[in-house]
């Protein structure tokens, strides 16, 4: 098996693992970080699928801005530990 | 020892720094516990139980019907890769074969989304504009919708933010942010020649703005990017896009002469309107990304 096929299989398996763990993670901040990792893996897959346009956008939006917005929202609704009104 | 270190790390990830005691007074709200007895009484009545059962049954029924309809549709779709599909008709062929001479863009994707389908991209930019408008309506702080308690809480948070400025973070951000902006501008200006374009470049620049705002605080940010700049940039870029594309659709449909030179393919000043439209889309996206962050975090820009 050529090395690129093995690499693609590894990427897809890690993508599925990231997707499952982002859903099942109990801690919300960890779920957001896992989702950002999912976006990074997806970026590499877009490059392998020869669409660099989408790869740039995925890296900037999926791994950057969306994660920040999720984290800010979690802080705003007091879902992070240490930001609760007690 | 190791486990203690581990739990401290988890606390740090969760943002829990109990050691640090701020001298500012936090105003605490106490929420009265729900009266569970009244809740139980409502549930235990017979009518409510009947309603609950029928609710669950109907929910399952709706799900099954939805799944059945979707599966039926999926099985009736044309086969993947067959020659008669709508995806493999003459439109894609024409885009690839005549795109370079008709739009002047070396990057076929840019030629497609900013020339052949420019109204699509205009719709997407408008969607972003409307989205940031809706977030403004919901989250913008105003004299009318904020109480004195909330106001003082925000002020406390701002003072803490100023106090906890991190010099290491600020130095590194000062090194990184110009590179991020340079890359974003390159991606926007080179959109018709290389992968990228308005949306990706704008997202990169927006991420750079957010990074700067996170590390330097609101005051440094507002010295060059206030709500007035935000409004001016987004509305001007959107109107500019609409005007330019309306002109080219009105005057240049069906191969009429528009008077806009296409230039030599591959040069930076080429491909007609695509460069200007890229800049417009990039400005809108960058402002929108920063606007989202700022409104989510502070309720202000």
When the pLDDT of each residue in chain B is averaged and rounded to a whole number, the result is: 82
- Cα–Cα distances (Å) from B224 to A64, B217, B219, in that order, read 23, 12, 9
Inside any domain, residue B4? no
Inside any domain, residue B174? yes
**Residues of chain A contacting residue B11, judged by C-beta atoms under 8 Å apart:** 81-82
Indicate whether B66 and B203 sit together in one domain.
no
* Per-residue model confidence as pLDDT tens digits over B212-270: 998 888 888 888 888 899 999 999 999 999 998 888 888 776 666 667 777 777 777 87
Residues in Cβ contact with B282 at an 8 Å cutoff, skipping those fewer than 6 apart: B184, B188, B197, B198, B199, B201, B202, B205
- Look at the block and give the residue holding tokens 């950057």: A64
* Range(s) of the domain holding residue B217: 108-298
Each domain of chain A, given as residue ranges in start order, spans 3-76
pLDDT of residue B1: 45
Indicate whether B59 and B141 sit together in one domain.
no
Indicate whether B67 and B124 sit together in one domain.
no
| Local structure of B155: helix, strand or coil | helix
Number of domains composing chain B = 2
From B55, B73, B91, give the residue that closes a domain: B73
Inside any domain, residue B25? no
Mind telling me how many Å the CA of A69 is from chain B's nearest CA?
A: 6
**Residues of chain B contacting residue A27, judged by C-beta atoms under 8 Å apart:** 14
B107, B192 contact by CB (below 8 A): yes
* Per-residue model confidence as pLDDT tens digits over B70-124: 999 998 888 777 777 777 777 778 888 887 877 778 888 888 888 888 888 899 9
**Residues of chain B contacting residue A61, judged by C-beta atoms under 8 Å apart:** 203
Cα–Cα distance, B181 to B189 (Å, whole number) = 12
Query: What's the pTM value of the predicted model, to 2 decimals?
Result: 0.75
- Cβ of B28 within 8 Å of Cβ of A69? The answer is no
| Local structure of B237: helix, strand or coil | helix
Indicate whether B67 and B211 sit together in one domain.
no
Inside any domain, residue B93? no
H/E stretch holding B20 reads none
Structure tokens at B134: 């809706």
Inside any domain, residue B16? no
Indicate whether B207 and B287 sit together in one domain.
yes
Cα–Cα distance, A36 to A61 (Å, whole number) = 10
Inside any domain, residue B142? yes
Cα–Cα distance, B16 to B6 (Å, whole number) = 14
Inside any domain, residue B235? yes
Residues in Cβ contact with B253 at an 8 Å cutoff, skipping those fewer than 6 apart: none
Indicate whether B133 and B46 sit together in one domain.
no
Q: How confident is the model at residue B3 (pLDDT cuts 50, 70, 90)?
A: low
């Amino acid at each position: 098996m050529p090395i690129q096929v093995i690499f693609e299989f590894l990427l897809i398996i890690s993508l599925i693992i990231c997707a499952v763990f982002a859903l099942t993670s109990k801690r919300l901040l960890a779920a957001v970080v896992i989702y950002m990792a999912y976006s990074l893996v997806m970026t590499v897959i877009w490059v392998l699928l020869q669409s660099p346009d989408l790869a740039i956008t995925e890296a900037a939006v999926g791994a950057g801005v969306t994660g920040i917005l999720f984290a800010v929202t979690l802080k705003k609704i007091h879902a992070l530990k240490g930001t609760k009104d007690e | 020892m190791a486990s203690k270190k581990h739990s401290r790390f988890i606390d740090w990830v969760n943002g829990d720094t109990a050691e640090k005691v701020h001298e500012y007074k936090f105003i605490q709200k106490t929420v009265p516990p729900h009266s569970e007895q009244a809740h139980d009484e409502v549930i235990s009545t017979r009518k409510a139980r009947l309603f609950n059962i029928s609710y669950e049954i109907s929910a399952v029924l709706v799900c099954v019907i939805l799944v059945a309809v979707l599966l039926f549709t999926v099985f009736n779709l044309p086969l993947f890769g067959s020659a008669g599909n709508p995806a493999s008709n003459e439109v894609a062929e024409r885009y690839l074969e005549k795109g370079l001479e008709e739009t002047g863009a070396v990057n076929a994707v840019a030629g497609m989304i900013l020339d052949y389908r420019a109204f699509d991209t205009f719709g997407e930019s408008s969607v972003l504009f409307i989205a940031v408008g809706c977030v403004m309506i919901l989250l913008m702080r105003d004299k009318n919708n904020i109480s004195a308690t909330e106001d003082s809480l925000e002020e406390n948070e701002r003072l803490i933010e100023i106090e906890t400025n991190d010099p290491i973070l600020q130095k590194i951000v000062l090194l990184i942010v110009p590179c991020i902006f340079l890359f974003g501008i390159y991606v926007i200006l080179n959109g018709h020649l290389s992968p990228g374009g308005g949306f990706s470049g704008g997202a990169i620049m927006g991420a750079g703005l957010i990074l700067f705002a996170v590390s330097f605080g609101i005051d440094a940010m507002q010295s060059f990017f206030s709500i007035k700049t935000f409004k001016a940039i987004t509305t001007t870029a959107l109107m500019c896009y609409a005007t330019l594309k309306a002109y080219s659709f009105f005057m240049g449909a069906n191969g009429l002469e528009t008077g806009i030179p296409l230039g030599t393919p591959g040069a930076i000043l080429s491909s007609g309107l695509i460069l200007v439209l890229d800049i417009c889309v990039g400005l809108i996206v960058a402002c929108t990304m920063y606007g989202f962050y700022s409104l989510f975090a502070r309720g202000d820009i």
